[in-house]
Amino acid sequence: MMPDRLKVGSPIGLWVLVTACQVPTAVTPCRFDSDCPAEYFCDPIGAYCLSRGAAPDAGADRVVVEDAGLSPDRHRFWTRVADADQPGGLHGPKAAFHRALGQVMLYGGSTDVDWGPYSAALWRYDGTAWTCECAACAPGPRWGHGLVYDAAGDRLLLYGGRADGTSSTSDLWEWTEAGGFVQLYPSGASPAPRHGMYAAYDEARDRMVVFGGRRADIGATSDLWEYDGGQWHQIATTVPWPTRRFDSGQVATYDRLGRGFVIYAGDNGSGGVRDDMWSWDGVAWAQRCGACTGADRLAPGFAYDGTTGRIVMQGGFTTDEEAGTWESRGAGFVLVDPIWPTARDTAALVYDERRGVFVLYGGNRDGSGGNLAETYEYR
């Protein structure tokens, strides 16, 4: 008969075998099969080690790892990686996944605080190491910009943002591996200069979507623009419509399954911070939730996984920089991890479709001087 508890040595901690009748306490479930002893595998549903041949999360004997045995750089879902040759401490860089290259691309961000100095570098991450594509790229230093991937055009699009500590821009650039950065000059009217806008690429309708941001003349805005590859189009206001807002984080994404441009939270410039989420389908806005997490929040990491249909959100600023991870599969968010990664805001978060992981980089902790040079991956 199998004993109720069996301790087995492990390179990363102490393994405890528990029967289905027991309720494990003060333990952290597994993340990879390599976290488990040889005769066990990691259950992808319950995230516990199960004996081979057992049904996932079916009440079979489980092996779990005690918290005290884990490295501080490794957690239930998150792993810290790629510390060598990375972009350095950055506050508010922007990231996009380049599907053709199968790599995460990252541009700009502040090397100090909101008003600079800013980075003008483009980096790529292949899941093993970061590589600098150009250290002084043609668009120049940038913070509060938009960066999206256009799969049909096989290019990155970079729009707007701050080029220095005082002024915003309205320029539009494309980047291709063959041609590098080239400035685009759309015909007709264009959005006014701004930073802190919400930007993502609508794959179904083949266009870049930009909402809101902060302008020098009127502050926070609520205008909606779409770039179709040749010109910008301003969308007429309808009801319902999100309130004016801007955010220095990367808090917009495209929901491939729901076919919508999704934005979250933001600041109206007068101390009115939000906790709401909206979706634009090309015809109308719909509010997905009004008090999504229970705390008004700025500048979290925010990204979408088109395989599972989930949005993952990390950190942000409420009354201080926050730790923890939230997930949404539609109407609201669920807190899935209250402490990891450590507290930060303005980190870049993007889903790596080739490897099936979210990649988080940088962010800021504790204001000036707290920029982080850390890469995490989340499954």
Distance from C-alpha of 12 to C-alpha of 236, rounded to nearest angstrom = 57
Residues 6+ apart with CB under 8 A from 230: 186, 187
CA distances from 355 to 125, 247, 350, 358 (A): 12, 29, 12, 9
Q: pLDDT band for position 351 (50/70/90)?
A: very high
On whether residue 272 sits in a domain, the answer given is: yes
What was the pLDDT predicted at 47?
52
Question: Pick from 30, 46, 69: which residue ends a domain?
Answer: 69
On whether residue 250 sits in a domain, the answer given is: yes
In the sheet where 130-134 sits, what is the strand order? Answer: 94-98, 103-107, 122-125, 130-134
What was the pLDDT predicted at 42?
59
Contact predicate 250/95, CB 8 Å? yes
pLDDT digits (tens, 9 = 90+) for 59-88: 333 333 333 333 445 455 889 986 678 999
pLDDT digits (tens, 9 = 90+) for 277-329: 999 999 999 999 999 999 999 999 999 998 889 999 999 999 999 999 999 98
* 104 closest CA partner among 129, 135, 79: 129
pLDDT digits (tens, 9 = 90+) for 102-125: 999 999 999 886 567 999 999 999
What was the pLDDT predicted at 3?
26
On whether residue 226 sits in a domain, the answer given is: yes
Distance from C-alpha of 235 to C-alpha of 229, rounded to nearest angstrom = 16
* 302 closest CA partner among 267, 255, 257, 338: 255
Instruction: Answer yes or no: do 222 and 96 share one domain.
Output: yes
Among 6-15, 167-176, 260-269, the range scoring the smallest mean pLDDT is 6-15
DSSP codes, 322-341: B--EEEESSSS-EEEESS-S
What was the pLDDT predicted at 353?
95
pTM: 0.81
On whether residue 95 sits in a domain, the answer given is: yes
Domain that holds residue 102: 78-378
DSSP codes, 163-189: SSSS-EEEEEEEEETTTEEEEE--BS-
Query: What secondary structure, in 3-state letters, does 8-72 show?
Result: EEECCEEEEEECCCCCCCCEECCCCHHHCCCCEEECCCCCCEEECCCCCCCCCCEEEEEHHHCCC
Instruction: Answer yes or no: do 113 and 180 share one domain.
Output: yes
Handedness of CA 276, 322, 45, 102 (dihedral sign): positive
Q: In the predicted model, what is the mean pLDDT of residues 357-375?
A: 86
What was the pLDDT predicted at 64?
34
On whether residue 1 sits in a domain, the answer given is: no
Distance from C-alpha of 107 to C-alpha of 163, rounded to nearest angstrom = 13
Contact predicate 240/189, CB 8 Å? no
Q: In the predicted model, what is the mean pLDDT of residues 176-199?
A: 97
Instruction: Answer yes or no: do 240 and 296 share one domain.
Output: yes
Q: pLDDT band for position 52 (50/70/90)?
A: low
Average pLDDT of the chain, as a whole number: 83
Residue 26 has pLDDT above 50, yes or no: no
Residue 180 has pLDDT above 80, yes or no: yes
Instruction: Answer yes or no: do 93 and 59 share one domain.
Output: no
On whether residue 116 sits in a domain, the answer given is: yes
pLDDT digits (tens, 9 = 90+) for 131-150: 999 999 999 999 999 999 99
Place of tokens 């004993």: 3
Task: Give the count of domains, the chain.
Answer: 2
